[in-house]
Structure 1
Amino acid sequence: MARRILIVDDQKGVRRLLEELFKKEGWEVFVAADGSEAIPMVDNIMPDIVLMDMKMPNMNGLEASQAILTCHPGTSILMMTAYGEMDVVNKALDAGVKRCITKPFDIITLRNMVNEMIMEIASSKK
């Protein structure tokens, strides 16, 4: 079964770049432009991992992550934040977000973090 990833970012270029990267890695990729669009998608697709941008219009990444984790507490979320938002990072981790990466990030570092997360998920299901 294909691994599923949901990419949530209001910047179309970021969504497209990450979508391309993870499709090449063999992931089934879904995208959302903001948190309010992402929440019902999680219900429908049940992604293995959610890449969530922090700053977005309508509903920010922290609010969306809290809503997703309330309904799906086992969801693995990686939050993408701007450099220096340590208070936000701490709130996200307290809410149940698994990892955070600061923007601008190295694409290889992000890919490696996602691969580590999927290995952790796989080993926890054994």
Structure 2
Amino acid sequence: MTSAPAPERPTVLVADDEPDIRELARVLLEMDGFDVVGEAVDGEHAVEQYVELDPPPVPNVVLLDNRMPRLGGLDAAERILQHHPGQIVVLFSAHLDPAVTTRARELGVRACVSKVDTAKLPRILRDLLDG
């Protein structure tokens, strides 16, 4: 009797200019069964990482800080979503206001999560993936 193959772990690309926040997100996600397949220090690096991961393992989720040097999260999301309109992108920021969340929705970003809710990230991402 052979056992069924283990289900694939969902994959995430994490972009944040703060190393401590990237590490915290990575640890929380990996403890909950996600694979962090890339980390980026700014929006341009996130787009570069994303393109390098395509074809698979294209990440299931791209997690972007909004305020980053060189290219912010909304601009990075726009570029990624032009490349793959169905990509799940989550804006993860300490600076969410109605203008940011409205623009994110217009671009196709699936969720905006405050950094205050960091501990909820794994559940939020799973809900999006199941969704």
Deviations 1:15-58 (A, max 9, x none): 00111111112211021111100112212321000111000000
Seen in structure 2, the aligned counterparts of structure 1 residues 83 and 37 have a Cα distance that, compared at 3 Å, is: closer
Specify every segment of 5 or more residues in structure 2 that has no aligned partner in the other structure, as ranges.
Answer: 1-7
2:56 equivalent to 1:26 = no
What secondary structure is seen at the aligned counterpart in 1 of 2:113? strand
Counterpart-to-counterpart distance in 1, 2:86 and 2:96: 27
Counterparts in 2 of 1:8-87, with a 5 A limit? 8-29=15-36, 30-45=38-53, 46-87=58-99
RMSD value, Cα: 1.3
CA contact (8 A) 2:29 2:121 kept: no
What secondary structure is seen at the aligned counterpart in 2 of 1:69? helix
> TM-score scaled to structure 2, two decimals?
0.84
Letter in 2 for 1:57: P
2:127 equivalent to 1:119 = no
> TM-score scaled to structure 1, two decimals?
0.87
Q: Which of 1, 10, 29 is the matching residue for 1:3? A: 10
Counterpart-to-counterpart distance in 2, 1:83 and 1:68: 21
Counterpart-to-counterpart distance in 2, 1:84 and 1:44: 29
CA contact (8 A) 1:8 1:31 kept: yes
Seen in structure 2, the aligned counterparts of structure 1 residues 102 and 34 have a Cα distance that, compared at 3 Å, is: same
Letter in 2 for 1:59: L
Specify every segment of 5 or more residues in structure 1 that has no aligned partner in the other structure, as ranges.
Answer: 121-126
Moved more, 83-92 or 58-67: 83-92
CA contact (8 A) 1:81 1:89 kept: no
Q: How many residues end up aligned between the 2 structures?
A: 119
Counterpart-to-counterpart distance in 2, 1:54 and 1:33: 12
CA contact (8 A) 2:28 2:119 kept: no
Q: 1:80 offset after TM fit, Å?
A: 1.5
